[in-house]
């Protein structure tokens, strides 16, 4: 980002800093620190930009101003992107996109536009096109000609880049890009947050999922008949609660945290590979990775597919959940199979096994007073017959 008039911007920045020094109220501080962060970013002072945008974001979160949270996360993503830190930039863009979809639809087109341009710069051209096309549809509906032209220009650039790729050179898609492209396609067709939409594009979604199902090595199965030791589950629930509060990080609309000693003891005392093998017929190694996941009121996880590196089988175990008595509908884990949508209501101590890389899945929004704590474990097959990405179906056009 290059300012058109550096001297004018520098003067304006000085005025913002002087006003901030007068100790205005919290809401004005939030606005000023965001503007200062954007100005510093425009001048190429990325460390300063990060400092002020972080302060603005913290104030937005504290005040519950969702619109400000989304806008500032997009700015923060830009600041990291321009500084060359594309991984951190992607985290902020995804957070902003998740929040916009669920709580701030008036900014969804902006989040899609920022993320689409980020993907274009990373070389994920199909993912960029998918996000920008959705942004264009929203902006046409808004009737804002300037915004429409901006998105159309970005789409034209993506199409030019796609068209310039040599026909003789096949595009090699990294596993992360493949899963992101499928996730983007799914989220433009359906969403966990509105079950009334599940039947709108069911034919197209089911047809796409059928192409994935051919390669699945595990079908979703709720482990009703496999009670896990309650004392070990309780120990993990306590550890997860502490880890999510102290060291948890936001990821795709909920919080994740690294597993610890309680989870390691659980894996050492319970033959998890044997449980997965009995449930699926797939001979797997003991879990190679795991993560705690926490959801609270209003949070959800939209439909997505995991990166192939997580393994050929996933096991999610519910460690704890709370809900208000008399609640008509609780949050559920949802899968999209070739047969349609499948909901799985996990109670504490129960689990579900599935192929997360090839089975679209998510969690419906949590209601008032509801919370869910899970552990997700990844398993690889013993035969070492890893998936060949070129054999997997491309994202539908």
Buried residues in 10-27 as b, exposed as e (16+ CB within 10 A)? eeebeebeebbeeeeeee
- DSSP-assigned states of every residue in 183-199: HHHHHHH--TT-GGGTT
For the chain, the 3-state helix, strand and coil shares in percent, each to the nearest 5, are: 55, 15, 30
pLDDT, position 170: 45
On the question of pLDDT at 1 being above 90, the answer is no
**Which pLDDT value is given to residue 313?**
92
pLDDT in tens, 165-224: 554 444 445 556 788 888 888 988 888 888 877 777 677 788 888 888 888 888 899 987
Per-residue pLDDT tens for 31-87? 999 999 999 988 888 889 999 999 999 999 999 999 999 999 999 999 988 887 877
Cβ neighbours of 146 (radius 10 Å): 7
pLDDT at position 232 over 60: yes
Structural tokens at position 390: 């070129």
Measure the CA–CA gap between 51 and 28, rounded to whole angstroms: 17
- pLDDT 10s digits, 286-311: 998 889 999 999 999 999 998 766 77
Task: Give the tens place of pLDDT for each residue, 90-146.
Answer: 888 988 998 898 889 999 999 999 999 988 887 788 888 889 999 999 999 888 889
* pLDDT, tens digit (0-9, with 9 covering 90-100), for 14-29: 999 999 999 999 999 9
Work out the average pLDDT over 382-393: 65
Backbone angles phi and psi of 237, in degrees to 5: -60, -45
> Quick check: 12 pLDDT over 60?
yes
| Residues 6+ away with beta carbon under 8 Å from 83 | 46
């Amino acid at each position: 980002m290059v300012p058109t008039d550096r001297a004018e911007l520098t003067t304006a920045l000085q005025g913002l800093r002087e006003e901030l020094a007068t100790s205005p109220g919290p809401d004005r501080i939030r606005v000023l620190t965001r503007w200062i962060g954007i100005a510093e970013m425009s001048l190429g002072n990325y460390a300063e930009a990060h400092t002020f945008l972080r302060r603005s974001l913290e104030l937005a979160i504290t005040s519950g101003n969702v619109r400000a949270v989304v806008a500032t996360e997009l700015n923060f993503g830009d600041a990291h992107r321009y500084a060359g830190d594309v991984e951190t930039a992607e985290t902020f863009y995804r957070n902003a996109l998740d929040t916009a979809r669920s709580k701030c639809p008036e900014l969804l087109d902006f989040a899609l536009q920022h993320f689409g341009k980020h993907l274009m710069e990373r070389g994920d051209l199909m993912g960029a096109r998918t996000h920008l096309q959705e942004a264009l549809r929203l902006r046409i509906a808004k009737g804002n000609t300037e915004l429409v032209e901006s998105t159309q220009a970005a789409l034209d650039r993506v199409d030019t880049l796609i068209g310039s790729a040599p026909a003789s050179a096949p595009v090699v898609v990294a596993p992360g890009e493949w899963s992101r492209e499928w996730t983007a396609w799914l989220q433009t067709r359906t969403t966990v947050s509105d079950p009334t939409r599940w039947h709108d594009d069911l034919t197209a979604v089911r047809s796409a999922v059928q192409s994935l199902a051919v390669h699945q090595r595990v079908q979703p199965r709720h482990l009703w008949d496999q009670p896990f030791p309650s004392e070990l589950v309780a120990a993990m629930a306590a550890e997860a609660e502490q880890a999510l509060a102290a060291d948890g990080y936001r990821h795709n609309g909920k919080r994740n945290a690294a597993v610890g000693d309680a989870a390691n003891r659980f894996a050492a005392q319970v033959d998890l590979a044997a449980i997965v093998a009995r449930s699926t017929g797939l001979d797997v190694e003991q879990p190679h990775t795991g993560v705690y996941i926490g959801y609270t009121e209003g949070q959800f996880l939209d439909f997505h597919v995991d990166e192939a590196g997580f393994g050929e089988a996933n096991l999610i175990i519910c460690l704890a959940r709370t809900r208000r008595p008399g609640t008509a509908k609780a949050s559920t884990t949802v899968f999209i199979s070739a047969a349609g949508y499948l909901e799985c209501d996990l109670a504490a101590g129960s689990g579900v096994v599935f192929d997360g890389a090839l089975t679209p899945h998510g969690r419906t929004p949590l209601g008032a007073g509801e919370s869910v704590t899970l552990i997700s474990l990844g398993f690889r097959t013993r035969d070492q017959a890893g998936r060949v990405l070129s054999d997997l179906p491309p994202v539908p056009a």
